[in-house]
A = this chain, B = another copy of it.
Amino acid sequence: MNFSSKLLEDAVGEFAKLPGVGQKTALRLVLHLLNKEQEEVEHFGNAIVRLRKEIKHCTICHNISDHNICEICSASKREKEIICVVEDTRDVMAVENTGQYFGVYHVLGGLISPMDGIGPSDLFIDSLVQRVATTPVKEIILALSATMEGDTTIFYLYKRLKDFQIPVTTIARGIAFGGELEYADEITLGRSIVTRVPYETAMR
């Protein structure tokens, strides 16, 4: 592209580095910001710089937080003896949004993926094992994606955790609510038949 201004080119270049944002979209976003009040643009720029500079990770569960201990880990009404293991902060938000979970979390920071060179030591797995070893835990829920990496990570975690004799569960997999049988893939449908649940349980 042929920019009339170095400042414009710089700003567009920075936006175009974001995932899924090309040069044209970047230009559109930058021109949008140019039409805003200077104060608004400064607030935009500062919000992201401040975030990067001041953000902390909870020392217990490794979730993104404004403090050294996150709101969930420090909340008195959360059940500290149930730990839900998730990949990242987005999954914490997804589970929180359901309003169905009242335990605490453990954020792994990724999934085991030999293809991407991510091994167990790159994730907060040792700290999970230590947490289970040093604090009373009643149940560990593995809420990881139903992908190859997710399954690998679940298998590894299960091996590391089974000696503690604490129930290790995984979230249920099956046909989504509103999902039609004829469009379900055969693996999901097959598993959902094998792991069928009594009607009373399903209706709880």
Q: Which residues of A contact B (CB under 8 A)?
A: 1-8, 10-11, 13-15, 17-21, 25, 27-34, 36, 38, 41-55, 63-66, 70-72, 88-90, 92-93, 96-97
Contacts and interface: CB of A to CB of B under 8 A. Distances in A.
Nearest to A27: B90
A75 to B, nearest CB: 11
Nearest to A1: B93
A11 B51 contact: yes
Copies of this chain = 2
A92 B4 contact: yes
A192 to B, nearest CB: 27
Nearest to A63: B4
A113 to B, nearest CB: 16
Nearest to A19: B32
Q: Which 10 A-B pairs have the closest CB atoms?
A: A45-B45, A45-B49, A41-B52, A2-B96, A11-B51, A14-B47, A11-B47, A7-B51, A14-B44, A10-B47
B49 A93 contact: no
A119 B88 CA distance: 51
Contacts of A70: 4-5
Residue of A4, A15, A21, A28 with most partner-chain B CB within 10 A: A4
Contacts of A14: 43-44, 47-48
A27 B48 CA distance: 12
Nearest to A61: B4
A10 B46 CA distance: 10
Nearest to A42: B49
B42 A11 contact: no
A72 to B, nearest CB: 7
Contacts of A7: 47, 50-51, 54-55, 66
A48 B97 contact: no
Given A14-B44, A49-B42, A64 B34 contact: yes
A45 B44 CA distance: 8
